[in-house]
Structure 1
Amino acid sequence: MLNLCVGLNDLPDEILMIIFKKLNNIDVLYSLHGVNQRLNKIVHDSIFTSCLTFVKWFSHNFMDLISSDMMLNRFCLQILPEIHDKIKWLNLESSSMKHVLCATNYPNLYALGLYNIDEESVRCLFTSETLPSNVFKNQITILFITIDNNKETILTVVNICDYILTVFTSLIYLSLYESSYKNRLRLLFDDPPPPTFHSSTLQKLNIKIQCFDDCLYLLDGRFNQLNTLYVDLLSIQCPEEIHNQSDLPNLKCFSLSCDYETNYYDELILPLLYRMSNLEQLGLYIAIFVDETFIDGNNLKRNIINRMPRLNQFRFYIRSLMFIHNQVNLPSAEDIQRTFIDFPNNNIISYVNYFPEARRGRCHIYSYPSRMQYYSGIPNNFPGGLYTYVRVVLLLDERPFEHEFFLRIQKSFPFMEQLT
C-alpha cells in the first residue's frame, strides 16, 4: 500500500480523478480513505460519495460488495460518518442495509435501493427504533426494491407495499421487482385494497402485477398524483367490477407489458388507453389472439395514434396469433410492413409466419430498438438485432433450428436469463 500511495502522490489530481472514476466508488473509498489529506480531498469529491452502491449484479442475482466484517466495520465506523453529509443515494443489500443505515445520520439522503429483501427484513428495518423515522418519512423520495424470490410468496408483495406506503410518506418514485427473473412475485389483490393503500405524493410507479384487475386498482384514484406508470402483468383477463374508472388526465407516461396472449385487446386494453387523454409516452408490449387479421400499422394508427393527440413517443412489441380455418388472401410480411410506410416511428420491424401443421399464423411487429423484457415465439426467420432489455426468450417453429440460428440468438440477447 505504501508503494502504491507513493506512486499516486506523484500524479496530478486530474490524472488521479480519471483513474479513480474508472473504479467502483466502494473500492476507491475503502482503499484510499484516510491515507493522506490530499487523497482524502479527492475521494471525498461528490463523484465518489454522492451515490454509493454496495451491491453488484452477478449470476442472476444481487451480491453484497461488503465481503467481510472488517470491511463493514471500516465503512460504518470510519468512512460513512466522515462523508455522511455528502451521500444522496444508497444502494444496499439486505444483509448489511441496517448496519449502513444505522452507522450515521444522512441529512441529504433522498434515494434508497434495497436489494434481496424479504418481508421480515423490511419489517425489522422500518420499525427499528435505532433509525430516525424522519429519514424515511421526510427525506426519501426515490425507492428501488428487489424482493428475494427464493423464499417469498405473492402475499409478501402486498405486505411490503403496505409497509412502504405507510413509512415512506414523501415518495415520488417507487420501483419494486423480484431479485432475479422467476416470474413468481407479483402484486395481487384478493380483494379491493384498503383505503390505507394509497399515496398523495407518488408520481412514478414501476411494478409487476398479477392481472388486469390489479392494474385498474392502481388507477382507481388511490395515487392521485401519479403521472408515470410501468406495469408488467401475468395475464389480461376480463376483470371484476371495479369502481372509479374515470379519466386519467394526470397520466403522461404509461407502459403495459404481458407475455401471455389475451383475447381482450378491444374490450380491455384500448378502453384503458382511452382514459389517458393527455398521454405523451406509451409502451405496449403484448400478445393478442385475433380472428381475421393481424395487428398492423393501420390498426395502431386508427385505434391508438389518431385517438391520442398528445402522444409523441410510442414504443411497442405486439405479437398477434390467428387460427387459420378457411381464410384466403392471408397477409404476407411485405403486406404488413407496407402498413407502416407513413408511421410516426419509421424504424419498425415486422415479420409473419404460417404453420400448416398447427393451422396457425403469427405476426410480430415492434419498434426498434425495443425495450421489451420478453421475446416469445421466435421462428427460424428471426431477423436478429440487439435486445438488451430482453430477459426471457421462447423459440417456436415447426422446422428444426440450426447451429447458426443459436449463434444469432446468443448475439441478439446478451442479458437473457431464460431460454425455452
Structure 2
Amino acid sequence: ETLIHILKDQISSLVIDSSTNEIQRLPADNNTTMFTYIFTTFTNLQFLNFGASLLYHQRLSFCTSPLTIISTNLLKLHVYLADFSDCLYLLDGRFNQLHTLSANIFFIASSSLTINNTKKLPTLKCFSLQCDIKTCAYDELILPLLHRMLYLEKLNLCLIISERKTFFDGNDLKINIINHMSRLNKFTFNLHSSSCFYDQINLPSNEDIQKTFRDFNNKIVYCVDYFPKANYGQCHIYSYPYKLNYYDNITNNFPGGIFTCVRKVSLFDEHPFEHEFFLRIAQSFPLMEELTVNNQKRQINKRFRKSKNENQDLPIIKYHYLKKLNLTNNCKDYYEQFLLDTKTCLPVGVSIDMNYELVKKVTRNFRRNTTR
C-alpha cells in the first residue's frame, strides 16, 4: 500500500504550495486537477490551504473543468482563484459545512456563466476577499455575495473599485455591509475607489469622510484626492494596521505612518513632489524594494532653494533596499531628485527605467560630477 493510501483517512489538514518555478511550468489546468484529486483522496479533510501562485494561469479555475466534488467535512479553505465565478462555484453548496473561506481572486468581472449568487450561506462565519486588479463590479457581484452571509462574524475585504458614483465611507459600509450581518464582530478592510467627476460641486472631503467613521471601533485611515485636470478622484480607506505588500497612487495628501510590510510603492499627483515628500516616503516605507514615480509638475522648492543657494541644507535621502526605480513618466526635476548624490543615495545595483534624452540632459551628457 502507498503512503497516501495508508494516511488518506487520517489527514484532516493539508497545505499545498504551488509557488515554485517547477509547478508554474505545469499545464494550466494542473492545479484544478490536483484540487479535485485532493478531495477524492482525503475524504476526511477539514482544512485546506491551496496556494499560492500569483500567476493567472496557475490559479484555480473551474469554468472549463466544472467541479464534481462534494465534501461535508471541509471547514476551512484558503485558495487563489482565477476569477469571481470560481468563488461562486465554491459556495454553491458543495461544501455545506464550510465556515471559513479566504479567497484571493485575480480578476472580478461580469460573466456569461449562470451561477446562483442568491442562496444564503448560514454556516459561513469568516470570509476574506482580496483582488489586486481594479474592478467595476462591486455593486453588481460583490455586495450580493456578501448579503448571502447572514451570520458572518469576521470579514476582510481588500479591493480596488472603479466607476462607482460615490466613494466609500463609514455610512456606505454600514448600510451595504454591516447592517446585513447582525453577528459581525470584526471587519477589516483596505478599499481603494476611483471615479470620474464632471461638474460636481459637493464632493466629499477628508473631514466629511472622517465623520462617518466616528462609531467604528478600530482605527480607520482615509485619504481623498481630486485631480481637476483629469476630472478624476480617488479615495483610499483602510483599517489599521496596513497589511498589503504594496501601496499605490500615493499623493501629497499621504497621511504617513510606518509600513514595514510594504515592498512596492507608486506615487502620483498633479501637484509637485518636493524633497521633503520623498524623505517622508523613504521613512514610511523602510523596506521598499520597488518605486514608481509619476509627476510632470516642476518642483517649486527646488527653484526657491536654488535662488537662495540652500541646496546644501537638504538631508540626503537613502533607499536602503530599493531594487527597481521607474522614472519614465516624469519631468527632469525628478531625474535630478534621484540621480544627484547631493539629494539621494541609491543602493548599488538598483535597476532604473528612464527616458534617455532626459538622463542625458540631467547628467550633462554623462559628465556631471554629482550624478556619477
In the superposition, the TM-score normalised over structure 2's length comes to 0.70
Map of 1:150-189 to 2, 5 A cutoff? 150-178=24-52, 185-189=58-62
Equivalent residues of 1:301, 1:343 under 8 A apart: no
Q: Which residue of 1 aligns with 2:18?
A: 146
Equivalent residues of 2:12, 2:47 under 8 A apart: no
Map of 1:205-216 to 2, 5 A cutoff? 205-216=77-88
- SS of the residue 2:29 aligns to: helix
Q: Which residue of 1 aligns with 2:295?
A: none
* Residue 406 of structure 1, CA deviation: 4.9
* Residue 264 of structure 1, CA deviation: 1.9
How far, CA to CA, are the matches of 1:416 and 1:133 in structure 2?
Answer: 46
Q: Which residue of 2 aligns with 1:358?
A: 230
Per-residue CA deviations over 1:242-262 (Å, capped at 9, x if unaligned) read 147411000000011112222
Equivalent residues of 1:258, 1:286 under 8 A apart: yes
Map of 1:340-351 to 2, 5 A cutoff? 340-345=213-218, 347-351=219-223
Q: Which residue of 1 aligns with 2:153?
A: 280
- From 239, 256, 266, the counterpart of 1:384: 256
How far, CA to CA, are the matches of 2:248 and 2:98 in structure 1?
Answer: 31
* Residue 273 of structure 1, CA deviation: 0.6
- Is 2:186 the partner of 1:313? yes
Change (3 A) 1:143 1:178: closer
* Residue 418 of structure 1, CA deviation: 5.5
* Residue 301 of structure 1, CA deviation: 1.2
Equivalent residues of 2:247, 2:262 under 8 A apart: yes
Map of 1:9-408 to 2, 5 A cutoff? 130-149=2-21, 150-178=24-52, 185-191=58-64, 193-196=66-69, 198-239=70-111, 240-243=113-116, 245-345=118-218, 347-390=219-262, 392-399=264-271, 401=273, 405-406=277-278, 408=280
How far, CA to CA, are the matches of 2:56 and 2:275 in structure 1?
Answer: 29
How far, CA to CA, are the matches of 1:418 and 1:409 in structure 2?
Answer: 12
- SS of the residue 1:159 aligns to: helix
How far, CA to CA, are the matches of 1:316 and 1:338 in structure 2?
Answer: 18
* Residue 411 of structure 1, CA deviation: 4.9
- SS of the residue 1:262 aligns to: coil
How far, CA to CA, are the matches of 1:354 and 1:217 in structure 2?
Answer: 39
- SS of the residue 1:234 aligns to: strand
Equivalent residues of 1:221, 1:244 under 8 A apart: no
How far, CA to CA, are the matches of 1:397 and 1:363 in structure 2?
Answer: 13
Change (3 A) 1:393 1:164: farther
Q: Which residue of 1 aligns with 2:333?
A: none
* Percent identity for Structure 1 against Structure 2: 50
Equivalent residues of 2:192, 2:237 under 8 A apart: yes
Change (3 A) 1:206 1:333: same
Change (3 A) 1:144 1:387: farther
- SS of the residue 1:326 aligns to: coil
How far, CA to CA, are the matches of 2:182 and 2:67 in structure 1?
Answer: 35
Change (3 A) 1:409 1:189: farther
In structure 2, runs of 5+ residues without a counterpart are 293-372
* Residue 409 of structure 1, CA deviation: 4.3
How far, CA to CA, are the matches of 1:148 and 1:221 in structure 2?
Answer: 32
How far, CA to CA, are the matches of 2:96 and 2:133 in structure 1?
Answer: 30
The runs of at least 4 consecutive aligned structure 1 residues that moved more than 4 Å come to: 181-184, 388-392, 399-420
In the superposition, the TM-score normalised over structure 1's length comes to 0.62
- SS of the residue 1:134 aligns to: helix
How far, CA to CA, are the matches of 2:277 and 2:58 in structure 1?
Answer: 33
How far, CA to CA, are the matches of 2:117 and 2:164 in structure 1?
Answer: 31
How far, CA to CA, are the matches of 2:274 and 2:181 in structure 1?
Answer: 44
Give the aligned length. Answer: 289
Equivalent residues of 2:117, 2:144 under 8 A apart: no
In structure 1, runs of 5+ residues without a counterpart are 1-128
Per-residue CA deviations over 1:350-403 (Å, capped at 9, x if unaligned) read 011111232210011110013345433222332233445555544333345556
* Residue 194 of structure 1, CA deviation: 3.2
**AA in 1 matched with 2:174:** K
Equivalent residues of 2:88, 2:116 under 8 A apart: no
**AA in 1 matched with 2:82:** Q
